[in-house]
Amino acid sequence: MFSDARSEIREFVARRFPDGRLEDDHDIFESGFVNSLFAMELVMFIEQHLGDRIPNDELMLDNFRTVNVMTDLVGRLDRRNGGGAATEVA
């Protein structure tokens, strides 16, 4: 498990951007470099590396648009699961 969810998410998503620049509040889908297939890759990444299974009520595109929003999602998942994950979401 990773100790810093924000940096892990940022690193994973940044690999998709040609110039490597990604701000935490940048809408990755609006950029045109990301598509629905990558959205599924994001879900799998978060489930496998940063949390548990993402419940259906959290599987909406708006929860995956920015690094900030995804970090918030990881925090919510951690709280739902009793705070057992060793992730920082600040």
pLDDT tens column, 41-82: 999 999 998 877 999 999 999 999 999 999 999 998 888 877
Return the closest-CA partner of residue 16 out of 44, 40, 38: 38
pLDDT of res. 3: 47
Is the Cα torsion angle 62, 67, 72, 77 positive or negative in sign?
positive
pLDDT of res. 20: 65
Structure tokens at 61: 């595109």
DSSP 8-class letter at 37: H
Instruction: Report how far residue 62's alpha carbon sits from residue 49's, in angstroms, rounded to the nearest whole number.
Output: 20
pTM reported for the whole predicted model: 0.81
Helical (H) or strand (E) element with 39: helix 36-45
pLDDT tens column, 3-40: 489 999 999 998 877 676 788 999 988 878 788 888 89
